[in-house]
């Protein structure tokens, strides 16, 4: 375990004293125990609760996101936001990165991702609805994230944005991938820069494949067609990501 | 320790919903049985005129499903279906009705694989599902045997040794009777519950009116589910498992005795109280006059017992209660006492730990653990870190 991670575990335990069991494995460090919180959100009730959780922290955290499990079997089987493997679906990967970068430590991860998730669950259990929005499942949720962040109207524009990020990163003087005809700097500059900073090669690759898969399925059904320029770009990028 | 009765009732409600069939599973079951129905409909049956119909009966129809426990482990759901062939009783035989249905099921590649050996009354298809929670689909061959257009009585087949006999039944009539007992409570809660179910299972039901009535549960249905679960656990390791009160008796008596109480706790406590008031019958003693007048549970002059089928008074659900020195009757009333002690007299428990232990024994550890916090919030004493959530991420699911 790195010195940095060790310090983060100490910081986490100084706030959440129940998260005190630490086990080191080859590929990850596991921190587990009771997470007790009293959480509120603007205009919503305060919820005081405790859960048994397990954080599986990869060695390159915060570059790679931790996985989180609830271990006492308290999450209702009807709650849809759990992965098939039983880990909690905190958010689509890029949104997890967005939230995490606001406080890129283990404590940040627990306070900004895990507690809001569990608060959302408790609220749902009580009222039958989610206090914050829910993302669509699977690839669709990833696609939606781009469409919402950029206020895009169609899937191909989302694919253009993610392709741009994958190929160029951030380039202010290029034409904006949203198709407005304006330069990035005076169009979606800020949003694009933010995404560029949030992404890791891994999340970028994952999102590209997810959005491409969705578009390709629609292409096969005859619902959309790829413009010529995009085809060439996609061919280049597919070669890169398949490496 | 003080326990808030409203919270306890909410705990009972949630525990019952936990042992119930979840909406997704319900929809799977409906899809499965409708497919079986279509297959049976397309068959040809000698002498038939008109359309074969298939419909659920029993707990699946009545909304009192309880996930069975076998050997301490949660097992497959039992779903009972009636397969009504358009045949006249005087132009067919019980054997041919039973075998035609079995033959038709065997003509289907998949059903042939799922089919169990012939049962006394049913053909059973055993579905194992990917998530490990399977179904037993019991198909009950039958013909209409009513005395008029509105009469829903049917004749079912019964195999004893190598011979087949007719026997009488009326599951549709029973369903209508039960709905009547349940109607006021249903009307009171249906909309709110459907709204809730739709929100929780929006992938299955796109709007409130798509949520079937069969998923709404009144305090009566919840009380029956809890009684059945308690029965299953109590008689699971019992040396006299054959004395376990049968579901149709529990359901019938509970529906008769339900006084439209607005929550599960008061429904259960009303039903159990009135059942216990019948206990003196075991020693042929007198019971409260008002109960004696209704005559739900009766001793006949010869000492045998009678609990009538509400839609067919000729059928006696308690026809074996006198055997072995009234073993079934005694088991019934000692079970009713246990219901009172295990589920209703809980206010005397001294610590949360003991309460949890007792409830786990009565209803199952898994479901009690899951909902115990509703009853006793676990964290009241300790100081929790305060967190104000802003800009929260949206929960997602990878598929
Ligand atoms: Zn733009």
**DSSP symbols for B68-123:** -EETTEE-PEEEEEEEEE---GGGS-HHHHHHHHHHHHHTSHHHHHHBPSP-SS-E
Phi–psi pair at B64, nearest 5 degrees? -125, 30
What is the b/e burial string over B302-340, where b = at least 16 CB atoms within 10 angstroms of the residue's CB? eebbbbbbbbeeebbbbebbbeeebebbbbbbebbeebb
Q: How many residues are given for chain B?
A: 399
Which pLDDT score, from 0 to 100, does residue B2 have?
Answer: 65
Nearest CA in chain A to B390: A41
CATH architecture entry for B22-170: 2-Layer Sandwich (3.30)
Q: Are A37 and B397 within 8 A, CB to CB?
A: no
Contacts with B129 from chain A: Cβ below 8 Å: none
State the Cα–Cα distance between residues A73 and A55, nearest whole angstrom: 15
Q: Are B163 and B172 in contact (CB under 8 A)?
A: no
Three-class DSSP category at B315: strand
Q: Are A72 and B396 within 8 A, CB to CB?
A: no
Average pLDDT, chain A: 90
Picking from A41, A74, A90, the nearest residue to B370 by CB comes out as: A74
Lowest mean pLDDT among A8-12, A181-185, B200-204, B359-363: B200-204
Nearest CA in chain A to B399: A138
Which pLDDT score, from 0 to 100, does residue B238 have?
Answer: 64
State the Cα–Cα distance between residues B198 and B225, nearest whole angstrom: 22
- Helix ranges, chain B (H): 5-19, 23-41, 58-62, 94-106, 109-114, 171-200, 219-236, 247-257, 264-276, 289-294, 323-339, 352-363, 365-375
Tell me how far the alpha carbon of residue B56 lies from the centroid of ligand 1, in angstroms. 57
Which pLDDT score, from 0 to 100, does residue B356 have?
Answer: 87
Q: How confident is the model at residue A42 (pLDDT cuts 50, 70, 90)?
A: confident
Picking from A74, A84, A99, the nearest residue to B393 by CB comes out as: A99
Q: How many CB atoms lie within 10 A of CB B285?
A: 9
> Which stretches of chain B score pLDDT less than 70?
1-2, 71-72, 148-149, 238-239, 347-348, 350, 377-382
How many Å lie between the alpha carbon of B193 and the closest alpha carbon of chain A? Answer: 10
Which pLDDT score, from 0 to 100, does residue A101 have?
Answer: 87
Which pLDDT score, from 0 to 100, does residue B380 have?
Answer: 47
How many Å lie between the alpha carbon of B397 and the closest alpha carbon of chain A? Answer: 5
Contacts with B369 from chain A: Cβ below 8 Å: 72-74
Name the token pair of A88.
């909690």
Lowest mean pLDDT among A139-153, A167-181, A199-213, B144-158: B144-158
How many Å lie between the alpha carbon of B197 and the closest alpha carbon of chain A? Answer: 8
Q: How confident is the model at residue A109 (pLDDT cuts 50, 70, 90)?
A: very high
State the Cα–Cα distance between residues B332 and B350, nearest whole angstrom: 29
pLDDT 10s digits, A45-94:
999 998 999 999 998 888 888 999 998 888 888 888 888 778 998 899 89
Picking from A73, A84, A132, the nearest residue to B394 by CB comes out as: A132
Give the DSSP H or E segment for A138.
helix A138-150
The pTM of this model reads 0.62
Q: Are B393 and A96 within 8 A, CB to CB?
A: yes
Q: Are B389 and A41 within 8 A, CB to CB?
A: yes
Q: How far is CA A130 from CA A121, A127, B370, in A?
A: 7, 8, 20
Burial of B237 (C-beta count, 10 Å sphere; 0-12/13-18/19+) = exposed
Nearest CA in chain B to A49: B379
Q: Tell which residue, B100, B104, B124, has the closest CA to residue B39.
A: B104
Which pLDDT score, from 0 to 100, does residue B155 have?
Answer: 94
Q: At what angle do helices A155-168 and A189-198 cross, to 10 degrees?
A: 60
Sign of the alpha-carbon dihedral angle for A68, A69, A75, A79: positive
C-alpha dihedral (B178, B181, B184, B189), degrees to nearest 10:
-50
Tell me how far the alpha carbon of residue A207 lies from the centroid of ligand 1, in angstroms. 19
Contacts with B382 from chain A: Cβ below 8 Å: 36
How many Å lie between the alpha carbon of A156 and the closest alpha carbon of chain B? Answer: 22
- Domains of chain A by start residue, with CATH: 3-127 (3.10.110.10), 138-241 (no CATH)
Q: How many residues are given for chain A?
A: 243
Picking from B196, B203, B389, the nearest residue to A119 by CB comes out as: B389
Picking from B23, B195, B395, the nearest residue to A81 by CB comes out as: B395
Nearby residues of B77 by Cβ (< 8 Å), 6 or more positions away: B21, B25, B29, B60, B65, B67, B68, B133, B134, B135, B136
Q: Are A91 and B396 within 8 A, CB to CB?
A: yes
For tokens 């979840």, name the residue.
Answer: B22
Q: Are B387 and A38 within 8 A, CB to CB?
A: yes
Which pLDDT score, from 0 to 100, does residue B333 have?
Answer: 96
Q: Are A39 and B387 within 8 A, CB to CB?
A: yes
Nearest CA in chain B to A210: B398
State the Cα–Cα distance between residues B197 and A78, nearest whole angstrom: 10
State the Cα–Cα distance between residues B301 and A124, nearest whole angstrom: 57
State the Cα–Cα distance between residues B233 and B358, nearest whole angstrom: 12
Three-class DSSP category at B357: helix
Nearest CA in chain B to A97: B393
Q: Are A48 and B199 within 8 A, CB to CB?
A: no
Angle among Cα A232, A233, A236 to the nearest 5 degrees reads 90
Give me the residues near ligand 1 (ion), CB cutoff below 5 Å. A 176, 178, 180, 187-188
Contacts with B389 from chain A: Cβ below 8 Å: 39-41, 115-116, 119
Q: Are B101 and B119 in contact (CB under 8 A)?
A: no
Picking from B201, B392, B399, the nearest residue to A132 by CB comes out as: B392
**ipTM here:** 0.85
For chain B, the domains span 22-170, 217-375
């Amino acid at each position: 375990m790195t010195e940095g991670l060790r310090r983060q575990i100490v910081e986490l335990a100084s706030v959440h004293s129940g998260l005190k069991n630490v086990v080191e494995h080859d590929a990850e460090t596991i921190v587990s125990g009771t997470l007790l919180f009293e959480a509120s959100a603007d205009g919503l009730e305060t919820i005081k609760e405790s859960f048994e959780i397990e954080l599986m922290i990869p060695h390159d955290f915060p570059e790679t996101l931790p996985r989180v499990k609830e271990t006492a079997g308290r999450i209702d089987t009807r709650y849809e936001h759990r992965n098939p493997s039983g880990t909690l679906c905190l958010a689509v990967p890029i949104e997890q990165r967005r939230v995490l970068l606001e406080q890129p430590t283990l404590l940040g991860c627990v306070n900004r991702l895990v507690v809001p998730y569990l608060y959302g669950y408790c609220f749902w259990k009580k009222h039958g609805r989610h206090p914050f929005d829910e993302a669509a499942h699977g690839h669709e949720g990833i696609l939606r994230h781009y469409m919402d962040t950029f206020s895009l109207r169609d899937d191909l524009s989302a694919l253009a944005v993610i392709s741009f990020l994958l190929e160029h990163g951030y380039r202010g003087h290029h034409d904006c991938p949203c198709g407005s005809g304006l330069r990035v700097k005076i169009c979606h500059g800020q949003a694009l820069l933010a995404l560029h900073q949030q992404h890791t090669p891994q999340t970028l690759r994952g999102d590209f494949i997810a959005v491409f898969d969705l578009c390709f399925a629609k292409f096969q059904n005859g619902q959309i067609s790829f413009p010529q320029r995009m085809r060439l770009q996609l061919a280049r990028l597919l070669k890169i990501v398949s490496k | 320790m003080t326990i808030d009765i409203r919270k306890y009732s909410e705990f009972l409600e949630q525990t019952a919903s936990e042992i119930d069939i979840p909406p997704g599973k319900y929809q799977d079951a409906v899809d499965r049985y409708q497919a079986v129905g279509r297959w049976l409909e397309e068959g040809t049956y000698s002498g038939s005129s008109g359309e074969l119909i298939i419909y659920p009966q029993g707990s699946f129809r009545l909304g009192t499903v309880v996930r069975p426990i076998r050997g301490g482990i949660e097992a497959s759901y039992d779903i009972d279906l009636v397969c009504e062939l358009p045949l006249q009783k005087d132009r067919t035989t019980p054997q041919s009705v039973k075998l035609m249905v079995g033959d038709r099921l065997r003509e289907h590649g998949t059903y042939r694989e799922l089919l169990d050996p012939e049962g006394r009354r049913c053909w059973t298809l055993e579905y194992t599902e990917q998530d490990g929670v399977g179904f037993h689909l019991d198909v009950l061959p039958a013909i209409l045997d009513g005395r008029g257009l509105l009469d829903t009585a049917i004749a079912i087949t019964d195999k004893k040794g190598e011979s087949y006999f007719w026997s009488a039944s009326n599951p549709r009539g029973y369903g209508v009777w039960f709905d009547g007992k349940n109607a006021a409570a249903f009307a009171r809660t249906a909309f709110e519950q459907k709204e809730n179910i739709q929100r929780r299972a929006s992938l299955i039901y796109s709007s409130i009116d798509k949520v079937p009535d069969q998923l709404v549960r009144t305090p009566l249905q919840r009380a029956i589910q809890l009684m059945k679960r308690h029965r299953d656990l109590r008689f699971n390791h019992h040396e006299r498992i054959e004395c376990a009160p049968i579901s149709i008796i529990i359901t019938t008596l509970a529906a008769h005795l339900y006084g439209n109480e607005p929550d599960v706790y008061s429904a259960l406590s009303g039903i159990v109280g009135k059942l216990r008031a019948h206990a003196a019958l075991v020693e042929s003693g007198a019971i409260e006059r008002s109960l004696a007048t209704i005559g739900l549970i009766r001793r006949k002059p010869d000492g045998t017992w009678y609990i009538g089928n509400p839609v067919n008074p000729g059928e006696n659900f308690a026809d074996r209660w006198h055997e072995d020195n009234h073993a079934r009757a005694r088991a019934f009333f000692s079970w009713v006492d246990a219901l009172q002690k295990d589920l209703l007299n809980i206010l005397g428990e001294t610590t949360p730990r003991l309460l949890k232990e007792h409830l786990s024994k009565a209803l199952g550890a898994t479901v009690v653990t899951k909902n115990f916090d509703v009853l006793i919030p676990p964290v009241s004493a300790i100081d929790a870190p305060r967190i104000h959530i802003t800009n929260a991420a949206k929960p997602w699911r990878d598929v």
